[in-house]
A and B are shown apart, each in its own frame.
Chain A
Amino acid sequence: MSTAEKPSYKVIGTRPIRHDGVDKVTGRALYGADIKLSRMLYGATVRSPHAHAKIVRIDTSQAELMPGVRAVITSEDVPEQGDRVVELGEGAVNMRHLAANVMAREKVLYKGHVVAAVAADDVHTAEEACARIEVEYETLPPVLDLLKAMSADAPILNDDIRTESIGSAPSGSDQQTNVAKHFMFEKGDIKQGFADADIIVERTFDTAMVHQGYIEPHNATAHWNADDKITVWMSTQGTFSARQQTAELLLMPVSSVKVVPMEIGGGFGGKISVYLTPLAALLSKKTGRPVKILMSRTEVFEATGPTPGSHMRVKLGAKSDGTLVAGEAWIAFEAGAYTGSPIGAACMCVFACYDLPNGQVEGFDVCVNKPRTNAYRAPGSTHVAMATETLVDELCEKLKMDPTEFRIKNAAGEGTRRVDGPVYPRIGMVETVEAIRDSEHYKTTLDGKFCGRGVASGFWFNVGLKSSVSATVNSDGTVALVEGSTDIGGTRTSIAMQLAETLGIAAEDVNPVVVDTDSIGYTDITGGSRVTFSTGIAAINAAISIQEQMCQRAAILWETDAENVRYEEGHLVGPSDQRLSFRELAEKLRELGDAVVGYGTSGSETQGGAFGTHCVDVEIDPELGKVQILRYTIAQDAGTAIHPSYVEGQMQGGVVQGIGWALNEEYWYDEQGEMHNPTFLDYRIPTCYDVPMIDTIIVEVPDPQHPYGVRGVGEVPICPPPAAIANAIYDALGIRMTELPMAPHRVLAAYLGRNTDD
């Protein structure tokens, strides 16, 4: 659907076959694990069996004696970082913590924390050698509970952490603590706001730690050459970020590291941090041979970067006419072993869908003995959407207001100032709610004793950041497009389509390739829903440059000045109405001066923001507590959908991840900090048998910051599902679920508890 008069595009909005598709349906596409180099060794890691312990002694001698073992490394081989904070593209990172996360130094802070690594002739020998490395630990009490970790008498994980205050007065305390950050955002006067409210709702919510669950485990192959040039082949969301992290960790200049991006088997935020790369590089340095390390699935669960568990208390107040007047939130996130959870983003997102006159949000980043958390699709926003959107549903129930009507009445719009300060440009929140309200799904009555319907909305910022592309015109009229954005979900095509649209040629006549860090200008990560937006702008800029150069070449041919040549819909038009197609001129370029190469860059900080509203029907088995999704509709503002199939794909994929988070997924820790479900059998992500078709409504409210109006679409679809499902469960059973996941035992306990109360 469209909300404005839509410009007529020739390529944008069509559904060409993706450029990398044939390689991916034939098995020819090369992923990180597929690389094989001459004289390559295989690595494996020794990992801590304890969640919290001091490393007393490591004895590698038995391993080193084994035939076929070529090198062993421990933290002694990893350069000391000292007190350094480095900007790594996704925020400032304490290098001592990053180094210690890659290889534990003095202490292990979670089960699965690497303490040593081996390179051997084959992976089995490497694994056997790991088993022969003796590590003596002095165990410490694990800190696993968020609230206990915050208390003054909790065991301390990192002795160098003091609470950093953001938006509030510094604590001034030199006390060691697990609370790494304290956020405070305020707007208006919440005391007065709640005093003015006729209805106030308040609840406490808990959500479990969950994992991105990409199907491809982490991998890295590195070769440290004799000239101190390091080449890395890996699966990463950001080659330049991986290059910088690797270089900083090894105390080498960034220019000494080249990262070659292999195809990436899913990331969702989890393939930004490096884990294996510095280890492979150090093992390669010791052996002079390339070293490849692959993670097992269990290592991925136990020791990469899941997204935090959370504890939240949220309160909303509204007038009896349905006007939201005040909101207050207190949010604590598990950072894991080191600081860095997305708590800041959570604080900014919690009331982001609404025009809230009075608000206060307080957030805490808390270290616990679990893996260091990382970004996961709209990091932090899904947690807080569970809280806010559940309370909005409760307000609607008390006000006897339709949930779409309430949301339309209170929706954030152009000019709304968020609690944390920024003022929205043109956004499409209202339009997504209207799309759900007007959908066939919402208009259809749902019958059934244990059936219910829920609605929820969600927000994600979407970032801009830097991208570079170059594009060369071939003599057959095609364009070779070189870019630095690793392609996880079809962005080669969405970028190529924008270049093609600008040049007035077919998408199929653009050949996009993703290249290594020595072969293209700086490009930030594939994350923040930024690639189609930002790398798209870079491609458009490259195309505009090509247009200018083609006009110059045509001017040579027509013996006129370049300003007399117009570029019109893929054609060059001269002053006497001479006309050549892009292809016709390309065929003549050999005789017409320099090669035609367009460069384009982009670097805006922000996009306009993405909103979505979802509607779900569920049926609950009252004897098992199992929630079945009957029907699901998502409406999302895509700005302008470049390739609608892949926009729908992002929406559907995000929804199903959200369904998994809502109903099944969680890290089960015992009291010692051991995860008891580190396999896909027990950490159960949705299968195709668990979900129905996911109906999509693409809303298009163009973002004025992009020439074609693109908004990123990748992340926001994961935000609303848990709350939408919780609201549907309430509609079905009359119980408010406040803990994720809403697994059968929790739903059943809540349902039986309600019956007992009755």
Chain B
Amino acid sequence: MSNKRVVTATINEETAEFLCEPRQTLLEVLRDSLNLTGTKEGCSNGNCGACTVIMNGHAVVSCLVLGVEAEGAEIQTIEGVSCDGSLNEVQSAFLEGAALQCGICTPGFIMQTEALLAEKSNPTEDDIRFYLAGNLCRCTGYDKIVRAVMAAAEQRQVTTG
């Protein structure tokens, strides 16, 4: 369409250039234009957290960000949390702790956890529950997710000293 804009952003540490209409959300651009379908759509109105990505160091729900707002931004998606093909501490903790069932909310939880651990390396259970309250999971009852985040924090402290 004629009203498309060219947007340039850094996505998962690589420069990405894409065309987008002003009305398209970052979520739509990531999934449909850039094929980064690991970011999930659950509600498209900011209530479920399934589309959480990290933008300029902050966790955002990508359904409430316009694609054009990504101009010049640094964005990390689930595809970029571990670029070398291995799993990072958070991904491993979710896997080992059985902290997922259907898995649709998992990328969003992992991104939100990354943001939490960047802010607070040693969170309490209450910190975790407060910080992750914007991410909905309907399968697990959250028990194993909260424990996985605790385990990931501990593991990351060991790794980073």
Q: Are A688 and B129 in contact (CB under 8 A)?
A: yes
Nearest-CB residue, chain B, relative to A717: B141
Q: Which residues in window 69-87 of B have CB below 8 A to A?
A: 77-79, 82, 87
Q: How far is the CB of B49 from chain A (nearest CB, A)?
A: 9
Nearest-CB residue, chain A, relative to B37: A34
Q: Are A694 and B98 in contact (CB under 8 A)?
A: no
Q: Which residues in window 88-142 of B have CB below 8 A to A?
A: 91-92, 94-98, 100-107, 110, 125, 128-130, 132-142
Query: How far does the alpha carbon of A689 sit from the alpha carbon of B137 in the complex, in Å?
Result: 12
Q: How far is the CB of A636 from chain B (nearest CB, A)?
A: 13
Nearest-CB residue, chain A, relative to B45: A679
Q: Are B43 and A694 in contact (CB under 8 A)?
A: no
**Is A504 among interface residues, defined by CB-CB distance under 8 A?**
no
Nearest-CB residue, chain A, relative to B102: A266
Q: How far is the CB of B145 from chain A (nearest CB, A)?
A: 7
**Is B44 among interface residues, defined by CB-CB distance under 8 A?**
yes
Query: How far does the alpha carbon of A299 sit from the alpha carbon of B59 in the complex, in Å?
Result: 27
Q: Are B43 and A31 in contact (CB under 8 A)?
A: no
**Is B50 among interface residues, defined by CB-CB distance under 8 A?**
yes
Known: A213-B138, A691-B142. A645 touches B98 (CB 8 A): yes
A21 proximity list for chain B (CB < 8 A): 95, 100
Nearest-CB residue, chain A, relative to B111: A27
Query: How far does the alpha carbon of A215 sit from the alpha carbon of B140 in the complex, in Å?
Result: 12
Q: Are B106 and A24 in contact (CB under 8 A)?
A: yes
Q: Which residues in window 22-41 of B have CB below 8 A to A?
A: 23, 31-32, 35-41
Q: Which residues in window 222-280 of A have CB below 8 A to B?
A: 263-268
Q: Are A264 and B102 in contact (CB under 8 A)?
A: yes
**Is A89 among interface residues, defined by CB-CB distance under 8 A?**
no
**Is A1 among interface residues, defined by CB-CB distance under 8 A?**
no
**Is A86 among interface residues, defined by CB-CB distance under 8 A?**
no
Q: Which residues in window 654-682 of A have CB below 8 A to B?
A: 654-657, 679-681
Known: A26-B91, A265-B104. A691 touches B141 (CB 8 A): yes
Nearest-CB residue, chain B, relative to A15: B98
Nearest-CB residue, chain A, relative to B48: A680
Query: How far does the alpha carbon of A540 sit from the alpha carbon of B39 in the complex, in Å?
Result: 37
Q: How far is the CB of A64 from chain B (nearest CB, A)?
A: 20
Query: How far does the alpha carbon of A247 sit from the alpha carbon of B1 in the complex, in Å?
Result: 37
Query: How far does the alpha carbon of A265 sit from the alpha carbon of B100 in the complex, in Å?
Result: 11
Q: Are B106 and A216 in contact (CB under 8 A)?
A: no
Q: Are B21 and A124 in contact (CB under 8 A)?
A: yes
Known: A216-B104, A645-B98. A693 touches B41 (CB 8 A): no
* Secondary structure dominating the interface of A: loop
A131 proximity list for chain B (CB < 8 A): none
Nearest-CB residue, chain B, relative to A17: B95
B144 proximity list for chain A (CB < 8 A): 645, 648-649, 652
Q: Are B102 and A265 in contact (CB under 8 A)?
A: yes
Partner of B42, one of A217, A646, A688: A217
A296 proximity list for chain B (CB < 8 A): 44
A691 proximity list for chain B (CB < 8 A): 141-142
Known: A215-B42, A679-B45, A688-B132. A24 touches B103 (CB 8 A): yes
Q: How far is the CB of B96 from chain A (nearest CB, A)?
A: 7
**Is B157 among interface residues, defined by CB-CB distance under 8 A?**
no
B47 proximity list for chain A (CB < 8 A): 297, 679-681
Q: Are A687 and B133 in contact (CB under 8 A)?
A: yes
Q: Are A215 and B104 in contact (CB under 8 A)?
A: yes
Q: Are A27 and B39 in contact (CB under 8 A)?
A: yes
Partner of B103, one of A265, A655, A687: A265
Q: How far is the CB of A540 from chain B (nearest CB, A)?
A: 23
A645 proximity list for chain B (CB < 8 A): 97-98, 144
Query: How far does the alpha carbon of A667 sit from the alpha carbon of B45 in the complex, in Å?
Result: 19
Q: Which of A26, A655, A657, A693 has the most CB of B within 10 A?
A: A26
Q: Are A489 and B139 in contact (CB under 8 A)?
A: yes
Q: Are B94 and A25 in contact (CB under 8 A)?
A: yes
Query: How far does the alpha carbon of A660 sit from the alpha carbon of B123 in the complex, in Å?
Result: 26
Q: How far is the CB of B157 from chain A (nearest CB, A)?
A: 20
Q: How far is the CB of A718 from chain B (nearest CB, A)?
A: 11
Nearest-CB residue, chain B, relative to A634: B141
**Is A30 among interface residues, defined by CB-CB distance under 8 A?**
yes
Q: How far is the CB of A83 from chain B (nearest CB, A)?
A: 38
Partner of A680, one of B78, B97, B136: B136
**Is A653 among interface residues, defined by CB-CB distance under 8 A?**
yes
Q: Are A29 and B103 in contact (CB under 8 A)?
A: yes
Q: How far is the CB of B103 from chain A (nearest CB, A)?
A: 3
A267 proximity list for chain B (CB < 8 A): 102
Chain A 690-715 near chain B by CB (<8 Å), digits 1 or 0: 01011000000000000000000000
Q: Which of B100, B134, B136, B139 has the most CB of A within 10 A?
A: B139
B54 proximity list for chain A (CB < 8 A): none
Query: How far does the alpha carbon of A296 sit from the alpha carbon of B41 in the complex, in Å?
Result: 9
Query: How far does the alpha carbon of A28 sit from the alpha carbon of B40 in the complex, in Å?
Result: 11
Nearest-CB residue, chain B, relative to A266: B102
Known: A213-B138, A217-B42, A268-B138. A26 touches B87 (CB 8 A): yes
Query: How far does the alpha carbon of A36 sit from the alpha carbon of B28 in the complex, in Å?
Result: 13
Q: Are A215 and B107 in contact (CB under 8 A)?
A: no
**Is A214 among interface residues, defined by CB-CB distance under 8 A?**
yes
Query: How far does the alpha carbon of A265 sit from the alpha carbon of B106 in the complex, in Å?
Result: 10
Q: How far is the CB of B79 from chain A (nearest CB, A)?
A: 5
Partner of B95, one of A22, A214, A489: A22
**Is A592 among interface residues, defined by CB-CB distance under 8 A?**
no
Q: How far is the CB of A494 from chain B (nearest CB, A)?
A: 12
Q: Are A685 and B142 in contact (CB under 8 A)?
A: no
Known: A25-B91, A26-B38, A33-B41. A689 touches B129 (CB 8 A): yes
Query: How far does the alpha carbon of A489 sit from the alpha carbon of B41 in the complex, in Å?
Result: 19
**Is A161 among interface residues, defined by CB-CB distance under 8 A?**
no
Q: Which residues in window 323-361 of A have CB below 8 A to B?
A: none
Known: A25-B87, A489-B102. A215 touches B79 (CB 8 A): no
**Is A18 among interface residues, defined by CB-CB distance under 8 A?**
yes
Known: A25-B87, A25-B106. A217 touches B41 (CB 8 A): yes
Query: How far does the alpha carbon of A656 sit from the alpha carbon of B48 in the complex, in Å?
Result: 16
B77 proximity list for chain A (CB < 8 A): 27
Q: Are B103 and A26 in contact (CB under 8 A)?
A: no
A31 proximity list for chain B (CB < 8 A): 37, 40, 104
Q: Are B146 and A693 in contact (CB under 8 A)?
A: yes
B82 proximity list for chain A (CB < 8 A): 26
Query: How far does the alpha carbon of A679 sit from the alpha carbon of B46 in the complex, in Å?
Result: 10
Query: How far does the alpha carbon of A115 sit from the alpha carbon of B22 in the complex, in Å?
Result: 30
**Is A413 among interface residues, defined by CB-CB distance under 8 A?**
no
**Is A403 among interface residues, defined by CB-CB distance under 8 A?**
no
Q: Which residues in window 470-514 of A have CB below 8 A to B?
A: 488-490
Query: How far does the alpha carbon of A34 sit from the alpha carbon of B147 in the complex, in Å?
Result: 29
Nearest 3 Cβ contacts at the A-B interface: A27-B38, A265-B104, A652-B141
What are 28 pairs between A and B in contact, CB < 8 Å?
A26-B79, A26-B82, A33-B40, A124-B21, A213-B138, A214-B138, A215-B137, A216-B40, A217-B42, A263-B104, A265-B104, A296-B44, A488-B101, A488-B139, A645-B98, A645-B144, A646-B101, A648-B98, A649-B140, A652-B140, A680-B42, A680-B43, A687-B135, A687-B136, A688-B133, A689-B132, A691-B142, A694-B143
B interface residues with partner A (beta carbon < 8 Å): 21, 23, 31-32, 35-45, 47-48, 50, 77-79, 82, 87, 91-92, 94-98, 100-107, 110, 125, 128-130, 132-147
Known contacts A27-B37, A297-B44, then 20 further A-B pairs from the complex at CB < 8 Å, ordered by chain A residue: A18-B95, A21-B95, A24-B106, A25-B94, A25-B107, A27-B36, A36-B32, A214-B104, A216-B42, A266-B139, A297-B45, A490-B98, A645-B97, A645-B98, A652-B142, A652-B143, A656-B140, A656-B141, A688-B132, A691-B141
